[in-house]
Structure 1
Amino acid sequence: MVEVFKQYLAEKMPLTEADWAVIEPVCIIKKLKKHQFLLQEGDVWRYHAFVCKGVLRRYSIDAKGVEHIIQFSIENWWAGDRDSLMNKTPSKYNIDAVEDSIILVIRNEDFDRLYQQLPAFNNMVNQILFRSFNASQERINATISMTAEEKYLYFINTFPALANRIPRHMVASYLGITPETLSRVKSNLSKNK
């Protein structure tokens, strides 16, 4: 699975064999079974995690026991809790596997060293952070301004590979609607075809 990460890097930055010789030794592979945690609320996140295979979800649970899914991560996406990582504080989130998954993790201190030693890696990380920030803004805008139907259509058009891999109740949680509302939306959309 390290080869998956190497290919990803080669597509995102000029990757020399010398660069890879610095990166590969700090890569740790973790295999997660469906429902197994990568991070649990209250733990401090200390890694950068890349999804080689599978689907992860990051979520919180409110005082009433309701899950609120913040993010899904599929192959070639990153996962983690940046706030916990940067501030060394207990995470407010859980990250677990929606399906059996293989994750490549790099300890934060190793990641920082790569960031400093390899200018191309540094540039790639900055581009990822920029895109992530833009995606977060789009998600906030969709959450506060779209109807349930518009949110669902935006989700399936933006993440077509993801829509069929996750259970309906998780899609509803991610969209901030109830599973019943999602069922009505899907029913109305199928009637209008």
Structure 2
Amino acid sequence: MVNLINYLLQFGQLNQQQIDLIKSKAKVIELKKEDYFSEAGKIARQVAFVDDGILRVCYYNNKGEEITRYFIDENNFAVDLNSFSYQIPSSEYVQAVTDCKLFVFSADALKDLSVTIIAWDSIINAITAKSLIEKVNRISPMLAEDAKARYISFLDKFPQLANRIPLSLLASYLGITQSSLSRIRKNIR
């Protein structure tokens, strides 16, 4: 739980009593590779902090093709924010790419933390803002780059993920076929 507390402390001050309360509200969940943390059509009712492993956010397009939107690795939170905040069915799946260890907070646990810890809401707002900025910065360049540039950009931004993600999922994220990704990888080695 050290990673979670250190992450939160980047965004605000917490005393030992508050840290102990946060620890008491977190539930440890272990997902096996390909297990789902949340599913499309269901309302997201919990938020996860990834302590170990990689999750991916994906959906099915109108042709029934599975599309990977992005990956969430260690020391990041995972939640379908729209579904969680507005209590509406999710349009996305959050699935384990690797075996994962998550610290999970229910909506009630987060409400309790908000009521009890004065700085909690500002910490969560800062984390949310950081995550949204990262999401925009991750998606915007993808729209203008060709496949090779997208792959090289991915390697530059996420070198620790490249060898931990199956090629089929990476190709889906990059918006190309797996055979195209294999050709690109072969040509840049």
Tell me whether the two structures share a fold, i.e. TM-score over 0.5. Answer: yes
User: What SS class does the counterpart of residue 25 from structure 1 fall into?
Assistant: helix
Residue 141 of structure 1 is matched in structure 2 by: 140
Cα distance in 2 for partners of 1:21, 1:131 equals 25
User: How big is the shift at 1:151?
Assistant: 0.8
Unaligned runs of 5+ residues in structure 2 are none
Deviations 1:129-157 (A, max 9, x none): 22222122223312211111111111111
Residue 84 of structure 2 is matched in structure 1 by: 85
Preserved CA contact (<8 Å) 1:81 1:91: yes
Preserved CA contact (<8 Å) 1:143 1:176: no
Structure 1 residues 4, 136: CA separation in 2 closer, same or farther (over 3 Å shift)?
closer
Residue 125 of structure 2 is matched in structure 1 by: 126
| RMSD, aligned CA | 1.7
Residue 169 of structure 2 is matched in structure 1 by: 170
Q: Could you say which structure has the higher helix fraction?
A: 1
Cα distance in 2 for partners of 1:4, 1:133 equals 21
**Counterpart AA for 1:134:** I
**Counterpart AA for 1:128:** I
Preserved CA contact (<8 Å) 1:37 1:95: yes
Cα distance in 2 for partners of 1:95, 1:107 equals 16
Residue 109 of structure 1 is matched in structure 2 by: 108
Cα distance in 2 for partners of 1:149, 1:135 equals 21
Cα distance in 1 for partners of 2:170, 2:144 equals 18
- 1:1-193 to 2 correspondences below 5 Å: 2-190=1-189
Deviations 1:42-61 (A, max 9, x none): 11101111001111111002
User: How big is the shift at 1:178?
Assistant: 1.5
Preserved CA contact (<8 Å) 1:57 1:69: yes
Structure 1 residues 155, 117: CA separation in 2 closer, same or farther (over 3 Å shift)?
same
Cα distance in 2 for partners of 1:176, 1:13 equals 37
Cα distance in 2 for partners of 1:124, 1:176 equals 34
Preserved CA contact (<8 Å) 2:11 2:126: no
Cα distance in 2 for partners of 1:140, 1:73 equals 14
User: What SS class does the counterpart of residue 138 from structure 1 fall into?
Assistant: helix
**Counterpart AA for 1:6:** I
Cα distance in 1 for partners of 2:43, 2:145 equals 34
Cα distance in 2 for partners of 1:186, 1:52 equals 30
**Counterpart AA for 1:32:** L
Cα distance in 2 for partners of 1:163, 1:86 equals 32
Unaligned runs of 5+ residues in structure 1 are none
Cα distance in 1 for partners of 2:171, 2:185 equals 11
TM-score of the two chains, using structure 1 as the length reference: 0.89
